[in-house]
Structure 1
Amino acid sequence: MNWEDIKEKVFSEMNFMKSRGFHYRMLLLTGGGIFVDGYNIIIISYGLAGIQKAFHPSAYLLGLIGLSVIIGNLIGALIAGYVVDRLGRKTIFILDLIFFVGFAILSGLVTNAYELLLARILVGLGIGLDYPIATSYLSEFSPVRSRGKYLIMNITFFNIAGVVATPIAYWLLSYGELVAWRYMLMSAAVPAIIVLLARLGTPESPRWLLIKGRKEEAKKVIERVIGKPLNDEAAKLLDSVQITPEHSTYYKELLTKYTRDAIFIGVFYFLFAIAFLGTSIFGPEFESGLHLPGEISSMVFWSLFVVGDIIAILLVDRIGRRPITLIGWGGMTAMMLALIILPKSFTIGLELAFTLFAMFQGIGPASTHMVYSPELFPTRIRATAEGWKQGVGRLGGVLTGVFFPAISLDEKLYIILIASALGFIWSFLLAKETKGKSLEEISERTHVNISNTQLLNKDTTNNFPFNTEHSK
């Protein structure tokens, strides 16, 4: 019996149990951080005019301020992936929000544009730390039959943030642009504090504990999740295993051993970031240029995004990850093409295409990128892989924010069309189907270099991080 077989038996009850209150609580705790990120990215787009009046920054500096949270996300995610895989999920799960709250409040108290830029980058860094933790945590606790659903429900919090942030932004603008932007930026501290307090007492991931050799702690967490003692077979197997903690070179292992999957998810998210941030950060410009009703159009856009998420939640564990990914990219391509072709006087058609573009994002890449990144990689580098994906994707967002202000609306539409079409082709060629498989089966067993036959006929003590009579 090899190391992957042992882990599958130890986690079998967690993998195939029905959802319990614990799972819904973990969903709320991980989704809460993503809500805070979405709220931050979306609400600042409504405050840029006030920042312009307050500090008179150059167009370039104002663009950087608009992108500052995304820049911070990029840095934070790349750092956090390594840190979370090395030190564990639990500690950073608390510390990152403490960091975020402090700088969210400070960002509303700044006295010039450069202070604001720095504060917002640090805000983004704090929330960027959260993504690798959230996806790793949730995937490592979720039952196989509903893991895809939970991971998509997790990212749905980002889009719910869009629904919430839009009316709050318009309400705060009623107090005047010169003060409204300060209230907008500081208001993000409120949900962050609520989530932070709720996260206190969260257990460490049992999968991470086990690969670090802390099997007694892992056993206690498993029993807490399943609500009963571990079954006798799994308990005896766990007791008999002498575990040497798994070690990793993190990014080196990710980019050498898991090259194909790392490139797939990085390019996937890079293309999605261009399409998503192009239509969300520059949403007001799209609405103005296409003659759409501002506040109403924004609310419908984000509401249909959530509808797309709901469709993905219902389908991901039934028809699979790959089909809804292709439906999403294909629909995005078709709707963006419609925005280019339809006459600007056809307001109803343009509004329908613009908002359906949001829905297809929710059905496809906006949802499945959150499923693929934790499923394709093993526990020892799962957070590193999510950090890599977020870093590469946010780079796409930064490039979008830098170049989009300098080009026309029609040019923006063509770039998003190309990104959507390339996303479809890329996914058609490389997207895997992971429905119904345990994390060990997807990410661990696929990359084992020694066959089970060999394992049954020779001592593999030097090949795997355990030593037990079952290994002969």
Structure 2
Amino acid sequence: MPSTENPGVSTDHTADAFKRRFMVRFVTVLIGGMFLDGFILGILGTVITPITHELNFSDLWEGLVAASALLGIMIGAPLAGWAGDKWGRKPLFMADMGLFVAASVLQFFVDSAWQLFVVRLLMGIAIGAEYAVGWPLMSEFSPARLRGRLLCGSEVAWYVGFMVAFLVGYILTTSTDVSWRIILGTSTLIALVLFIARIGLPESPRWLWNVGRRDEAVAIANKYMMESKDITDIAHEDTRKGTFGMLFSRQYWRSTLFVSGFWFCSVTPYFAIATFAESVLKNYGLSSGLAGGLGLSAVAAAGVVVTVLYIDKIGRRILTVPPQWLCTVVLAIIGLWAGAPPVIVLVLFLVFSFFNAMYTAITGLYPAEVFPTEIRGLGTGFGAAVSRLGAAAGTFLLPWSMTNLGTSVTMLIAAGVALVGAALSQWLCPETMGKNLSDTAVGVGH
């Protein structure tokens, strides 16, 4: 048996094939969670009009329901991150999908604005937990040489989920008499399949080592992890308890500022524009809101694919910093060129979606790399909560801003948010490609 002070590598000749099957399964269930997140956010935009008519929404309730899942993420992500660091990743990874299944079923029965708000708030809490537990868990099992590709790849699923939901919702609302409750509830089947697929997944060996359960950590690492250097790196874990205050300590405050600020500035403009794609594009004279909305999601998915292909080849920083400056310029042009031809505006929005998605794909990777195991879940959860504060604010305020401030000012505000993100990343963005988690989790600037 390998020493608990120096984890060894299993010599079973069937181990490699077993580990590959495990990694495929694990990546699939994580990708499924990201698909669900994109799906529940994308599907709402297609049925918000019939919901508003049937439930007599005021402008306030329309904004609250649109932002409810995002508000839920703000609650669920930090709480689940704290709980996952304290009690383990595995139980939270099951519980969040169980909550999602239950809340998704409740969508079939809502009959008031406040009920729909509460149900989607619960779904958001489950998704927030998915961020705070799923990404750290994936980073702790992934080979260092593939970690960027695997974690960023889950973002492809988010955009695909958003795009599929937009298409499914549009077809069902325009070609059938299916109730909006059934359209919203289509997420139930996906969630149930994912819940079943997660049964039997192991606990993170890094978390086990960190809390002093070294024999279990060694056994799981040898059974499931693919490369010897990743297994032996587990022995470099500290055995200490994480606290919320560590996020703002001298060692980690830069990591916390970078992760949360970068994430906030990445998603805020996109969520606002994509959620109300039809109305935003129609304000610029583009009659086909469906084509534009699908185009934004499809091009965004392509941007994530580019990041997945190159993240472990050319590094994190080059895919993070320059695209943010480009998006700042693109949004500023849209805001300043009030009389631009509609086709030019559409092209600019598509360019924004592509490059914004390139760096947004990395938002879940950085917290997994720059925080240590004892606060990896908490750091990811805090960053996700801050990011969804921006996404919720953008989603809630965009209709008001478009009406009261105009499209040009609204786009200039979005450009300002992108500018802050670009400057912050220029200052703090680290390069972590190919490094073990023990080497990357020392804090930005150390």
Scaled by the length of structure 1, the TM-score of the pair is 0.85
Contact persistence 1:74–1:395 (CA under 8 A): yes
- 1:360-375 alignment, distance < 5 Å: 360-364=355-359, 366-375=360-369
- 1:159-174 alignment, distance < 5 Å: 159-174=159-174
* 1:334 is aligned to 2:326: no
What RMSD, in angstroms, separates the aligned Cα atoms of the two structures? 2.7
* Structure 1 letter corresponding to 2:221: I
The match for 1:219 is: 218
Map Cα deviations across residues 26-46 of structure 1 (whole Å, 9 max, x no partner). 211112111111111111111
Contact persistence 1:172–1:183 (CA under 8 A): no
Q: Work out the CA distance in 2 between the residues paired with 1:329 and 1:301.
A: 17
Q: Work out the CA distance in 2 between the residues paired with 1:264 and 1:447.
A: 11
Q: CA deviation at 1:415?
A: 1.1
| 376-385 or 314-323, which deviates more | 314-323
Q: CA deviation at 1:348?
A: 2.3
In 2 relative to 1, CA 30–194 (structure 1 residues): closer, same or farther, beyond 3 Å? Answer: same
Stretches of structure 1 that go unaligned for 5 or more consecutive residues are: 1-5, 449-472
The match for 2:61 is: 61
Q: Work out the CA distance in 1 between the residues paired with 2:321 and 2:21.
A: 33
Q: CA deviation at 1:302?
A: 1.0
In 2 relative to 1, CA 345–334 (structure 1 residues): closer, same or farther, beyond 3 Å? Answer: closer
Map Cα deviations across residues 35-78 of structure 1 (whole Å, 9 max, x no partner). 11111111111111111111112111111011111111110112
Q: CA deviation at 1:110?
A: 0.9
Q: Work out the CA distance in 2 between the residues paired with 1:288 and 1:358.
A: 17
The match for 1:197 is: 196
* 1:399 is aligned to 2:393: yes
In 2 relative to 1, CA 146–406 (structure 1 residues): closer, same or farther, beyond 3 Å? Answer: same
- 1:253-402 alignment, distance < 5 Å: 253-256=246-249, 257-292=251-286, 293-342=288-337, 344=339, 346-364=341-359, 366-402=360-396
Contact persistence 1:207–1:218 (CA under 8 A): yes
In 2 relative to 1, CA 340–212 (structure 1 residues): closer, same or farther, beyond 3 Å? Answer: same
Contact persistence 1:328–1:362 (CA under 8 A): no
Contact persistence 1:94–1:200 (CA under 8 A): yes
Q: Work out the CA distance in 1 between the residues paired with 2:109 and 2:8.
A: 48
* Structure 2 letter corresponding to 1:210: W
Q: Work out the CA distance in 2 between the residues paired with 1:166 and 1:119.
A: 20
Q: Work out the CA distance in 2 between the residues paired with 1:22 and 1:338.
A: 47
Map Cα deviations across residues 99-139 of structure 1 (whole Å, 9 max, x no partner). 11111111231121111111111111122111111110111
Q: CA deviation at 1:345?
A: 5.7
The match for 1:186 is: 185
Q: Work out the CA distance in 2 between the residues paired with 1:169 and 1:308.
A: 24
* Structure 2 letter corresponding to 1:216: D
* Structure 2 letter corresponding to 1:85: D
In 2 relative to 1, CA 11–421 (structure 1 residues): closer, same or farther, beyond 3 Å? Answer: farther
* Structure 1 letter corresponding to 2:275: I
* 1:248 is aligned to 2:242: yes
Q: Work out the CA distance in 1 between the residues paired with 2:158 and 2:9.
A: 31
Q: CA deviation at 1:396?
A: 0.9
Map Cα deviations across residues 76-102 of structure 1 (whole Å, 9 max, x no partner). 112111001111111111111111111
Scaled by the length of structure 2, the TM-score of the pair is 0.90
The match for 1:140 is: 140
In 2 relative to 1, CA 70–445 (structure 1 residues): closer, same or farther, beyond 3 Å? Answer: closer
| 252-261 or 139-148, which deviates more | 252-261
Aligned residue for 1:20, secondary structure, equals helix
Contact persistence 2:335–2:410 (CA under 8 A): no
* Structure 2 letter corresponding to 1:43: I
The match for 2:13 is: none
Contact persistence 2:277–2:292 (CA under 8 A): no
* 1:441 is aligned to 2:439: yes
Map Cα deviations across residues 317-349 of structure 1 (whole Å, 9 max, x no partner). 111111110132122123213323446562322
Q: Work out the CA distance in 2 between the residues paired with 1:160 and 1:388.
A: 25
Work out the percentage of aligned pairs sharing the same amino acid.
Answer: 27
Contact persistence 1:47–1:180 (CA under 8 A): no
Q: CA deviation at 1:174?
A: 2.8
Stretches of structure 2 that go unaligned for 5 or more consecutive residues are: 11-15
Contact persistence 1:342–1:350 (CA under 8 A): no
In 2 relative to 1, CA 234–275 (structure 1 residues): closer, same or farther, beyond 3 Å? Answer: closer
Map Cα deviations across residues 206-251 of structure 1 (whole Å, 9 max, x no partner). 10111111112111211222479x79x969x97xx9x9952222x1
In 2 relative to 1, CA 328–447 (structure 1 residues): closer, same or farther, beyond 3 Å? Answer: closer
Higher Cα Rg, which structure: 1
Map Cα deviations across residues 340-367 of structure 1 (whole Å, 9 max, x no partner). 3446562322221111111101211x11
The match for 2:41 is: 41
Q: Work out the CA distance in 1 between the residues paired with 2:370 and 2:85.
A: 15
- 1:450-469 alignment, distance < 5 Å: none
Q: Work out the CA distance in 1 between the residues paired with 2:263 and 2:206.
A: 26
Map Cα deviations across residues 140-187 of structure 1 (whole Å, 9 max, x no partner). 11111111111100122111112211110112203668x542122111
Q: Work out the CA distance in 2 between the residues paired with 1:125 and 1:205.
A: 22
Q: Work out the CA distance in 2 between the residues paired with 1:264 and 1:11.
A: 35
Q: CA deviation at 1:398?
A: 2.1
